[in-house]
Chain A
Amino acid sequence: MLTLTCPCCGMTVEETELAPGGEAHLKRFGPGSSDAEFEGYLFARKNPRGVHFERWRHAYGCGKWFLAARCTATLEVFGTYPAQTTEPPASIVAAIKARRPDWEGLK
């Protein structure tokens, strides 16, 4: 059971206080998109052993969604940040690079 810090209210909370939301930084494709684009958006999900970006909601707290960068293999958390962004902020990228020099960045 993970602990994550909600960047909105600042609380470090138990996983039972959170609701998971799957992979972060998906780009939405709507009408006008190709079948391949739409399929990628709706169904294709990464399942890495290592650095991963996830959506979490502080469901039984402040109610806000936030994003977390963590290692699925070691459970190390590199950081959490507000959901209102299309890519991880520089501070998070730096934190990951410091711990995982071989990481090739969010693709």
Chain B
Amino acid sequence: MSTRLATGGRLIDRTKPLGFRFNGKRLKGFAGDTLASALLGADQMLVGRSFKYHRPRGIIASGVEEPNALVGLGTGARFEPDQRTTTTELFDGAETSSQNHWPSLETDIGVLNNWAYRFLPAGFYYKTFMFPRAAWKHVFEPIVRQSAGLGKVPTERDADRYEHAYAFCDLLVVGGGVAGLSAALEAGRAGKRVIVWEQTAHWGGRSPVDGGQIDGMAPEDWVAGVLEQLAAMPNGSLRARCMAAGLYDHGYVLGYESVGDATPGDGRPRHRLWRVRAGQIVTATGAIERPLAFAGNDVPGVMLASAVRDYVVNWAVSPGDRTVIVTNNDDAYRTALVLLDAGLVVPAVLDARETPTGELIEAVRARGVRVLAGRGVAKVKGGKRVQGVQVCAQAGEGAVLEEIGCDCVAMSGGWSPVVHLWSHCGGKLLWDEANACFRPDPSRPPTGADGAAMVRAVGAANGALRLPEALADAGGPPAVAAAEGPMAPVWVMPQGAPPALRFKAFLDYQNDVKVSDVQLAAREGYESVEHTKRYTTLGMATDQGKLSNINGLAILSDALGQAIPVTGTTTFRPPYTPISFGAIAGEARGEIFQPLRRTPMHEWHEANGAHWEPVGLWRRPYSYPRAGEGLRDAVNREISNTRNSLGMLDASTLGKIVVKGPDAGKFLDMLYTNMMSTLPVGKCRYGLMCNENGFLMDDGVVVRLSEDSWLCHTTSGGADRIHGWMEDWLQCEWWDWKVYTANLTEQFAQVAIVGPNARKLLEKLGGMDVSKEALPFMTWAEGELGGFRARIFRISFSGELSYEIAVPASEGMAFWKACLAAGEEFGAMPYGTEALHVMRAEKGFIMIGDESDGTVIPQDLGLGWAISKKKEDYLGKRAQQRSFMDNPDRWQLVGLETLDGSVLPDGVYAVAEGHNPNGQRNVQGRVTSTYFSPTLGKGIAMGLVHRGPDRMGEVLDFPADAGKVFRARIVDPVFYDKDGEKQNV
């Protein structure tokens, strides 16, 4: 059993006991525990089930590489699945639950998969796709569904808050072990601004557990001294619980800080995402121990040797009473010594090497422990807990030489430097034969903006795995540690393991990838490591291959008969360990997810029941439903009132760009398809803008303000984009033209006064002559209207008598209210964007984004009249001369009227004779806008139809959902007041 030892534990505080629950069971731990150490201390080795076969899974590691011990943590709005117990600090009242089992952790029905696992080999998911459809639907999908998903999705909105923070420094040191601290101290003394991040809550890395002497001191004492010095430096910053998630271009690093994880509800953010720009980066990220592949290496109680000694030394937790050590290197012997010092039993060390010798080995032998050289594990006995190991010769095929009873197996397959950050932004690796690992290639580092190296790896992260080397590599003080002999590159135990053993030798514990799966992939032709990864799912679990990817690469290389560096590694991608979505979002959620643009009259709309519609970052009233009135009815009322009496629209969101200068006319002639330079002062003209591909991109009314200035109205969503478009051409193509642009969209409030009574309202406000004679259609005037400085544009998007009046934004609200008051006796009523849309459709006016979609040219929309034939050039002209554009076979704008007066569904297609090569009906047109017209009492629509204008009166079929076919006749797109009599009064 695993248990809490009576003494020791450098990280726990026995005066502060903490209570927590696992699957409802009350358990106890201490301050300083991780969830994993507390669970082990409470004899809870079995903590979950694997993803595919639901095999029992125990704690295997003590850090970020843990693939098994993931739990659901918290409740309700603070529940989160897949929390790694080895890196989660215990807190009082923590609620934890195991995952991926049914009905219980102890008795799992899904373990049936275990029996069927001969039928779920590598590539199972892909292979099922090749079966007949029926097999997928009735046989495989139910099986896959059963085992899909890890943990449960939270059901409530996250109660915590998250934040982003920014920092700059000369040197960012990632990793607070002895190498990282050495590098930080050196830079700090040189006066550099230094930031040091350590992903755990503790400084010093492995050295306090692994021992040795630094500068004549115990590692722990040396670390404490350096921390004091760094903390005293004004140019130094130390941050624990902060993991460097990714390293990007030009020294940009993302850090993920756990702030309030262990103190839920205390008001602090749960996580903080650091966005740091560093001049130089030192990766002192250490190394991760590898498992060994032998049959039954996934039975709970089989652990990494380093993790076993971490639990004993750091948390006074004994993972087992009797621990057999299996290794291919000297370092694992430290675990034997630690266990012996704690009074625990080490029945044997199985060393795969034929003649292991060295200081550590002799020390273990001297304590009376059997060291079996050239031996390996044939098989681990036990189901939910280790019961013993069968010993075999490493060089053989697994013949059992003896059986040793134990409840824990501590394995070590050597160490892999953590090269993730080095690799994120282009750093390359080399193969280190002596340590059988990939390590950073100093001649091919990630480079910065100046082309020089921006990252330096130091210590174990650089392949300097032993204490004295690590410190020397990082520029630290001299150190001593027990000398170690060479390790042996052993990946599978025994060397000649037959299929039955390879079948139970696990590589990826979470995804149940075994040695046999990787070998199968190689036999089936998967030679690329990237393909093998996806085929077998090796390294695709939440630990992303930290534990055993190298083992998998080695086995693949062996199967392919090539050296490991030839096989290479999979791509290292950020984040290093999973980070929360909350941290990524930071404070951008809810109300402040994105900025909200408000017109000067926004508050009035809000107070008067506006139903909002988002338009870009703006929010515009869709309509103003009255109490008890449905949205549809409100829109119909607003339309009828505007057509028959008087409507008011807040048009402030309309883009307003002033273009001024001696060459402004020439410039606008290039930008618009029609001629703007000839527009007389005092007049307005509707204009179209195309991109260089000839496609329509924006439209609006252009106003000639003065001899050298024009005001260009754009669509509401297009103002910034069009202003940018203008600036692009002025700065990058026609930079010698004398033109200045200013986007004044927010400087003016604009109100449309629309309907037969519009003139009466303006006359009542008084101050300007708005008669037909003084201010005819498509002209404008400036003056004082009802005491407001105003520009009145006599333009119409509804077909009614209409004035659009611009006033300074600061006076917008007062002007809106003045209009409402003045218009009351004439039946004035505000209307929203939906009424606007219906009225423009009744008039056959196009809407950018409805009738245009980035593939439509003005000629398709019957707007040829707005394209100048005289101009030599304008943006899009050359493109419109291409044969496909200049072609009568294009789909063109028409009106559509259903035979029964019903409303066509939006976006439906008109079918033609025959089928295309995919067996779908051929099509000859589609609906672009469709509404119920209260004015006409029936559905009206616009659409693009093949040669449409030549086919007036033809009836087309529009199949819709559920087999229903709408039949509609091609008609003129202008449904209402074809001669424009209403707007010209």
Contacts and interface: CB of A to CB of B under 8 A. Distances in A.
A98 to B, nearest CB: 10
B732 A76 contact: no
A31 interface: yes
Contacts of A74: 426, 447, 451
Given A57-B724, A74-B447, A31 B877 contact: yes
Interface string B431-461: 0000000000000000111110000000000
12 contacts: A1-B248, A1-B249, A3-B249, A3-B449, A30-B873, A35-B882, A75-B448, A76-B447, A76-B449, A77-B450, A84-B732, A84-B735
Contact of A99 (B451, B693, B872, B882): B451
Contacts of A64: 731
Nearest to A19: B724
Contact of B727 (A28, A32, A65, A77): A65
B530 interface: no
Contact of B451 (A3, A19, A71): A71
A99 B451 CA distance: 9
A59 B724 contact: yes
Interface string B528-571: 00000000000000000000000000000000000000000000
B277 interface: yes
Interface in B870-898: 872-873, 877-879, 881-882
A87 interface: no
A31 B732 contact: no
A64 B730 CA distance: 10
Contacts of A2: 249-250, 449
B426 A31 contact: no
Given A31-B872, A76-B449, A99-B451, A83 B735 contact: yes
Given A14-B277, A31-B877, A75-B249, A42 B692 contact: yes
Given A76-B450, A83-B731, 7 more contacts: A3-B249, A3-B449, A29-B878, A30-B877, A38-B878, A65-B732, A84-B731
A51 B882 CA distance: 33
Interface of A: 1-3, 14-15, 19, 21, 28-33, 35, 38, 42, 55, 57, 59, 63-65, 71, 74-77, 83-84, 99
B250 A1 contact: yes
Contacts of B732: 21, 55, 65, 83-84
A7 to B, nearest CB: 12
A28 B733 contact: yes
Interface of B: 248-250, 252, 277, 425-426, 447-451, 692-693, 724, 727-728, 731-733, 735, 872-873, 877-879, 881-882
A33 B449 contact: no
Contacts, number: 73
B277 to A, nearest CB: 7
Contacts of A84: 731-732, 735
Nearest to A55: B732
A3 B450 contact: no
Name which of A31, A59, A64, A77 has the most chain B CB atoms within 10 A of its CB.
A31
Nearest to A70: B449
Given A65-B731, A75-B447, A31 B249 contact: no
A100 to B, nearest CB: 10
Contacts of B724: 19, 57, 59
Contacts of A29: 878
B688 to A, nearest CB: 17
A77 B449 contact: yes
Given A42-B692, A59-B724, A31 B873 contact: yes
Please provide the 10 A-B residue pairs with the shortest distance between their CB atoms, ordered closest to farther.
A76-B451, A84-B735, A65-B731, A83-B732, A3-B250, A74-B447, A77-B449, A30-B873, A1-B252, A31-B878
Given A1-B248, A30-B873, A57-B724, A38 B879 contact: yes
Contacts of A35: 882
Nearest to B454: A75
A75 B449 contact: yes
Name which of B250, B252, B735 has the most chain A CB atoms within 10 A of its CB.
B250
Contacts of B881: 31
A84 B731 CA distance: 7
Contacts of B731: 64-65, 83-84
Nearest to A2: B249
Name which of A1, A29, A33, A59 has the most chain B CB atoms within 10 A of its CB.
A1
Nearest to B877: A31
Contacts of A77: 449-450
Contacts of B277: 3, 14
Nearest to B728: A65
A14 B275 CA distance: 11
Nearest to B425: A75
A71 B451 CA distance: 9
A21 B728 CA distance: 9
Contacts of A63: 727
A57 B249 contact: no
B675 to A, nearest CB: 16
A38 B882 CA distance: 10
Contacts of B252: 1, 3, 14
B854 to A, nearest CB: 15
A26 B110 CA distance: 62
Nearest to A42: B692
A53 to B, nearest CB: 13
Nearest to A71: B451
Nearest to B451: A76
A74 B735 CA distance: 32
Contacts of A3: 249-250, 252, 277, 449
Contacts of B693: 42
A64 B727 CA distance: 8
A28 B874 CA distance: 12
Contacts of B878: 29-33, 38
Name which of A28, A29, A71, A75 has the most chain B CB atoms within 10 A of its CB.
A75
Nearest to A41: B692
B879 to A, nearest CB: 7
B727 A75 contact: no
A60 B878 CA distance: 32
Contacts of A83: 731-732, 735
Contacts of A33: 878
A33 B881 CA distance: 11
A30 B878 CA distance: 5
Contacts of A32: 878
A57 B726 CA distance: 13
B879 A42 contact: yes
A18 to B, nearest CB: 12
Nearest to A35: B882
A24 to B, nearest CB: 9
A3 B878 CA distance: 37
A32 B873 CA distance: 9
Contacts of B448: 75-76
A3 to B, nearest CB: 5
A88 B724 CA distance: 23
Contacts of A31: 872-873, 877-878, 881
A55 B733 CA distance: 12
Nearest to A29: B878
Contacts of B425: 75
Nearest to A65: B731
A32 B948 CA distance: 31
A33 B249 CA distance: 40
A1 B277 CA distance: 10
A69 to B, nearest CB: 12
Contacts of B248: 1
Contacts of A28: 733
Contacts of A14: 252, 277
A94 B451 CA distance: 15
Nearest to A8: B731
A57 B451 CA distance: 23
A89 to B, nearest CB: 15
A72 to B, nearest CB: 11
